Structure 1
Amino acid sequence: MHRFIVVGGGAGGLELATRLGDRYAPHKNKGGVHAQVTLVDRNPTHIWKPLLHEVAAGSMDPFTQELEYAAQARWHGFEFQQGDLTGLDRANKRLTLGTVLDDDGAELLPARELEYDTLIIAIGSTTAFFGVKGASEFSLALDTVSQAERFRKRLIAACMRAEHQVHEPVESGPGTSSSSTEPRIQVAIVGGGATGVELSAELRNTAQVLSAYGLHKLDPRHDVGIVLIEAGPRILPALQERVSTATAELLTKLGVKLMIGETVAEVAPGMIRTASGKTVRADLTVWAAGIKAPAILSELDGLPVNRLGQLIVRRTLQTEVDDNIFALGDCAACPWPGNERNVPPRAQAAHQQASFLLKALAARLENKPLPEFTYRDFGSLVSLGHFSAVGNLMGGVIGGNMLIEGLFARFMYMSLYRLHIAALHGYARMVLDTFAHWLRRTTLPRVKLH
């Protein structure tokens, strides 16, 4: 049987492995073409990455939303192998997985080699610190569930400590952003993209809920400060200016301080220094200023990468030098005809590429020419937590371009995740999962309190 290996269980990789398993697994497809499908990921569970800001703010319990790869493999006819991609031998069509350790550092799984006929790389992206002094040491990224949970626990601990500390007003000095009455806790978010904006709004809701439940007696608006620092001329630079303007207005109403046009020069314990000489107090710092491809991609047996470390692919999603290796999602630099930039690193792009590859790989098995991928931009949505949402719909959705906000935008944003669930489990199970999630929410606080 033809051997497909999908490396990376994110939005695109897991959807592709699931649909390949459904189509080609022998016990799923009795009379048709059979293939062996293997999914590789460093973690044992999957969570939709756009939800991590909600995990960090405590408004989502990750353990109720995680999906076990092994269970998904059993249900949909593919095999799951846990481990990091550590090497590639293109001549022998073989990849190497690293050792998996348990929580105590003991070996759980040894290093292994897997052979493939077609390899699909979908390992996503990681946070880019751009060499800023102290950024990687003294700020938190939100790439994984463990990082998001770490921030949430630090936030609750900071609130509890601040409640019992004597607060003395601090006078502003030259070149500092402090006011005469500083907040008791200040969270600084570096990066005004979707992650930074969504987290800032979600944290305002978290502060209110924590206060309502008596976990701390701080004023959720004045004692918990949130600062969003963006180096560019506006937040949400990848979206249209009117979306950015509407979002900035909503954040200001929520009490989020926006520092626009400020480049971070250094992150230190308890503070941030900007290139213009300002000092920003930061009890907690979140770094959401950009992404890059994982470093391993530049070490994969001569596969060409761009300056961001992404694998350079053709419109068929095949790598430039090897027709047997495909890439999709954030780790792939895919041309976008009619645009100066490549296909953007968004969940909707990964979803479209997974659907495209299902058809392209079927053509490959039949020795037919491969089609070319065309990205369709359906717009972008940004969640402002419990308060609102904002975004623009465009292209095939409405035949034009329209700014949306409020309840309708919030509904559309929530629908994106439900469509991801439908791609993994089908629409019937998605409806049941939505109902079960609603039932859980009626018996739980809006924010995880411990």
Structure 2
Amino acid sequence: MHRFIIVGGGAGGLELATRLGDRYASPSKRRAAKAQVTLVDRNPTHIWKPLLHEVAAGSMDPFTQELEYAAQARWHGFEFQQGELAGIDRAAKRITLSAVADDDGAELLPPRDLEYDTLIIAIGSTTAFFGVKGAPEYSIALDTVSQAERFRKRLIAACMRAEHQVHERVESGPDTSGLTEPRIQVAIVGGGATGVELSAELRNTAQVLSAYGLHKLDPRHDVGIVLIEAGPRILPALQERVSTATAELLTRLGVKVMIGETVAEVAPGIVRTASGKTIRADLTVWAAGIKAPPILGELDGLPVNRLGQLGVRRTLQTETDDNIFALGDCAACAWPGNERNVPPRAQAAHQQASFLMKSFAARLENRPLPEFTYRDFGSLVSLGHFSAVGNLMGGVIGGNMLIEGLFARFMYMSLYRLHIAALHGYPRMVLDTFAHWLRRSTLPRVKLH
């Protein structure tokens, strides 16, 4: 049987493994299995990456949204192998996975080799720190659930410490220092979608934590949020009108927006900019850019661009090997009619996964492969329960329409539901939506521990 190996269980990789498993690897009464499909990921569970800012803010419990790869494999006929890609032998058509250790460092799985006929690399992206001094050590990225949970716990701890300090001042007498700065300040570096969404979500979190009595600080005055963007405006990927409206809304929410400020250094408790400004930061989140994982630059003869992405042709085959495909954030795919490549968005990975289903049908029948064409359906940015903004593009309405408010919020929420439908089908997606609503109605709005 033809052996498909998909490395990376993100939005595109998991959708592709699920559909390939259903079509080719699951035997039935009417047909035998035609292919062996294996999904590889370094983690045992999947979560939709655009949700990580909600995990960081505590407004989403990741353990209710995570999907076990092994369970998905059992339901849809593919095999799951946990491990991190360590190398490729293109001549032997073989990949090497590194060992897997438990939380105590003991080895769970040894290094392994897996053989393929078709290899699909979909390992996504990681945070780019651009060589900024102290950024990797003293700021928190939001690439994984563990990083998001780390930030959430540190935020709650900072609130509790600040409240204790307030009590100590009250007991020692009236405060005559004239202090006007927030008791806690969060600095978010990067005014793209992640930074903007996190800043709005954190404002909601501060209000909810106060309402539940976890801290008695003023959620608006005592919890400061600073959004730092190096460019001339936030949300540079969206139209200027959307960017301006979003900046105005964030300002009304009490978020301080600093544009045209390039971060030069991150140190404990502070962020310094190239213009000489020093910003106090009890917590610093780095959301200023992405790059492909470094392992891609170490693979056997596969060229990468300056962002570390694998160069692919319009068929999504790598430039030097017809048996290796790449999709999603880790692939540098041309976008005809545009100066830049296909953008690193979940909708692009979804489209590429759907495209590859058609390509592999042709590949198994020895027919020529089609060429991928990206369709931009627009961008949406969530501002928590306050609002959402974005633009819908030609594929939806035949033009370009700016949207905001309740309708934009509904469209944003529907993106995740479509991802669930791609993994489980529409009936289970409806049940999951109802179960999610029940949980939200019976649990606190923010995870409190």
Is the pair's TM-score, using the shorter chain for normalization, greater than 0.5?
yes
Question: What whole-Å deviation, never above 9, does each CA across 1:206-232 have from its counterpart, x for those lacking one?
Answer: 000000000000000000000000000
Distance in 2 separating the partners of 1:91 and 1:300: 12
| Residues 171, 179 of structure 1: 8 Å contact kept | no
CA gap 1:38/1:152 in 2 versus in 1, 3 angstroms = same
Alpha carbons of structure 1 residues 432 and 169: separation in structure 2 relative to 1, 3 Å? same
Quickly say closer, same or farther: Cα 1:36–1:56, change in 2 above 3 A.
Answer: same
Residues 126/175 of structure 1: CA separation in 2 closer, same or farther (3 Å cut):
farther
For residues 372-396 of structure 1, what are the alpha-carbon distances to aligned partners after superposition, in whole Å with 9 as ceiling and x for unaligned? 0000000000000011000000111
CA contact (8 A) 1:167 1:184 kept: no
CA contact (8 A) 2:169 2:175 kept: no
Say whether the 8 Å CA contact 2:26–2:76 is kept in structure 1.
Answer: no
Number of residue pairs matched?
Answer: 449
- CA deviation digits over 1:151-209, x for unaligned, max 9? 00000000000001149999999999x99510000000000000000000000000000
Rate the CA distance shift 1:273–1:368 in 2: closer, same or farther, 3 A.
same
Q: Residue 431 in 1 paired to residue 430 in 2?
A: yes
Give CA deviations for 1:38-73 in whole Å, capped at 9, x if unaligned: 000000000000000000000000000000000000
Q: Is the 8 A contact 1:69 1:80 kept in 2?
A: yes
Give, in whole Å, the separation in 2 of the partners of 1:160 and 1:253: 26
**Structure-2 separation of matches of 1:204 and 1:39:** 38
RMSD (Å), alpha carbons: 3.2
Contact 1:18 1:78 in 2 (8 A): yes
1:61-99: per-residue Cα shift (whole Å, max 9, x none)? 000000000000000000000000001000000000000
State percent identity of aligned pairs. Answer: 90
In the alignment, the residues of structure 2 paired with residue 134 and residue 165 of structure 1 have an alpha-carbon distance, to the nearest angstrom, of 28
Alignment of 1:360 with 2:328, yes or no, is no
Deviation (angstroms), 1:246: 1.2
Shift in CA distance, 306/313, structure 1 to aligned 2, threshold 3 Å = same
Match of 2:146 in 1: 146
Per-residue deviation at 1:240? 1.2
Contact 1:393 1:403 in 2 (8 A): yes
Alignment partner of 2:257: what SS?
A: strand
Tell me if structure 2 keeps the 8 A contact 1:187–1:284: yes
Q: Is the 8 A contact 2:27 2:33 kept in 1?
A: no
Structure 1 residues not aligned, in runs of 5+:
none
Secondary structure, counterpart of 1:276 in structure 2: coil
Render the CA deviation track for 1:315-346: whole Å, top value 9, x for unaligned: 00000000000000000000000000000000
Deviating 4+ runs (over 6 angstroms): 167-176
* TM-score of the aligned structures, taking structure 1 as reference length: 0.97
SS in 1 for 2:133: coil
- Unpaired runs of 5+ in structure 2? none
Deviation for aligned residue 1:105: 0.3
Which piece of structure 1 moves more, 23-32 or 386-395?
A: 23-32
- Deviation, 1:30, is 3.9
> Equivalents in 1 of 2:174, 2:358: separation in Å?
61
SS of match in other structure, 2:379: strand
Q: 1:175 to 1:77 in 2, by over 3 A?
A: farther
8 A Cα contact 1:230 1:261, kept in partner? yes
Return closer, same or farther for 1:244/1:179 CA change in 2, 3 Å cut-off.
Answer: farther
